[in-house]
Amino acid sequence: MDNYIDIQFARDHNLQHQSIPPRPVFNVDGSPNKAAAIKHKVFFTISLSGQPMKIEAYATVLDRNPIILGLSWFKCFNPVIDWITGKMRFCWDQLLRAIKTLASNIPKYLEKFLSVFNKNTAEWLPERKPWDHVIDLEATFKPQRGKVYPLSPAKLKELDTFIEENLRKGYIQPSKSPMASPFFFINKKSGDLRPCQDYRKLNDATIKNAYPIPRVEDLLDRVASAKPTIFTKLDLHAGYNNVCIKEGDEWKGAFITPRGLFEPMVMFFGMTNSPATFQAMIDGIFADLLLEGWLVIYIDDILIYSTDYSEHQQCTQLVLQRLKGSDLFLKPEKCFFDVSEVEFLGFIL
């Protein structure tokens, strides 16, 4: 069972939402709900026991309670239920221990930012922001339907997993777009499969975004000139998926698979302007800090560098605070804190 929210309640509180293909809804007694069909999914945050919880729910007409939390919520937060008293409690200490185990290399002075390393929270659909990815097409563009690439049984299984996970996250939705870019997998060095969309036709017709990507040489020179002795390297979770596709442009990125046609709600790798959009977002978020001479960022790779340990701690906390306020998350297993030597953009510093 999914989560549900009263549609008028969602409107009154101006909650973030996205359109979805209509789906019928029935009341508990089996009768059709007066809303007829659900057409929107809503995203919001609630606080229980002083802890924030991100929720996604389908908008419909609810008579008594504005929000109904379903089985998906219970699976996600796994509360302990006392069926006699009708109360439930949450094992926050257990949750924090799990986060600390995952982020075992995080220094003590950063423990107040453990939520930035929470993988579950990191996989929610990002909120719409001014830097949403725009897909501007040339006036002569005509949508094209790409072919469905055949997939082996193993790749079909991987495709099913990809579709299920990304539908759950809200990263994709079923589409009726006239545009259909092919979908396929490539083999990674690790042996895993990487899902890819063949956006060549779309990219050819996309008006290019000229926002500059930093030159690696310039970033390395900037770091070297400061003669730093302490480094912290941060790696953003989910990469391009942190950016929504501009509302109304989703159909342009639609891709076709043996399981149907889907369109992205977030930016995917392979779209021609994705690097420019992402770099512009990052530069906007950290604009003032980038001018202070202790921080460089190349797309989703962040490097903090200093000569004084106390100052370095303060700088790192500033960056994590900015990430937290922007709903951006980190991969703890790919972060390095307070080290004297680090690999950055293929170079040892």
Contacts of 234 (CB under 8 A, 6+ apart): 301, 302, 303, 304, 319, 323, 330, 335
Q: Is the pLDDT of residue 100 over 60?
A: no
The values of phi and psi at residue 301, to 5°, are -105, 120
When the pLDDT of each residue in the chain is averaged and rounded to a whole number, the result is 85
CA distance readout (Å), 5 to 11, 65, 69, 238: 10, 8, 9, 27
Q: What is the pLDDT of residues 277-313, one digit of tens each?
A: 999 999 999 999 999 999 999 999 999 999 999 999 9
Comparing 139 with 69, which gets the higher pLDDT?
139
Pairwise pLDDT comparison (16 vs 248), residue with the higher score: 248
Q: Tell me how crowded residue 70 is: count the other CB atoms within 10 A of its CB.
A: 13
One-letter identity of residue 26: F
Q: What's the pLDDT score for residue 219?
A: 96
Phi, psi of 74 (to 5 degrees): -65, -35
> What domains can you pick out in the chain, each with its CATH number?
4-78 (no CATH), 123-349 (3.10.10.10)
pLDDT score for 107: 85
Q: What number of other Cβ atoms are within 10 A of residue 284's Cβ?
A: 12
Query: Is the per-residue pLDDT at 97 higher than 60?
Result: no
**What is the model's pLDDT at position 28?**
62
Mean pLDDT calculated for residue range 60-82: 75
What mean pLDDT comes out for the span 63-76?
A: 75
Percentage of the chain with pLDDT > 90? Answer: 51
- 3-state helix, strand, coil split of the chain in percent (to 5) is 35, 30, 35
Those residues whose C-beta lies under 8 Å from the C-beta of residue 56, and which sit 6 or more positions away, are 3, 41, 42, 43, 124, 125, 170
The DSSP-derived string for 148-199 is PPP--HHHHHHHHHHHHHHHHHTSEEE---S-BEEEEEEE-TTS-EEEEE--
pLDDT at 103: 46
In terms of average pLDDT, the best of 35-49, 192-206, 326-340 is 192-206
Asked if pLDDT for residue 27 goes beyond 60, the answer is: yes
Q: Is the pLDDT of residue 85 over 80?
A: no
Query: So what's the pLDDT on residue 307?
Result: 95
Lowest mean pLDDT among 27-41, 82-96, 141-155, 234-248: 82-96
Largest CA distance in the chain: 71
13 pLDDT above the threshold of 80: no
Beta carbons of 330 and 118 less than 8 angstroms apart: no
Nearest to 3 by CA among 49, 47, 54, 50: 54
- Burial (0-12, 13-18, 19+ Cβ within 10 Å), 259: middle
- Mean pLDDT to the nearest integer, 140-146: 93
Sheet-wide strand order for 4-6:
16-26, 32-48, 51-60, 4-6, 67-68
- Distance between terminal CA atoms of the chain? 51
- Length in residues, the chain: 349
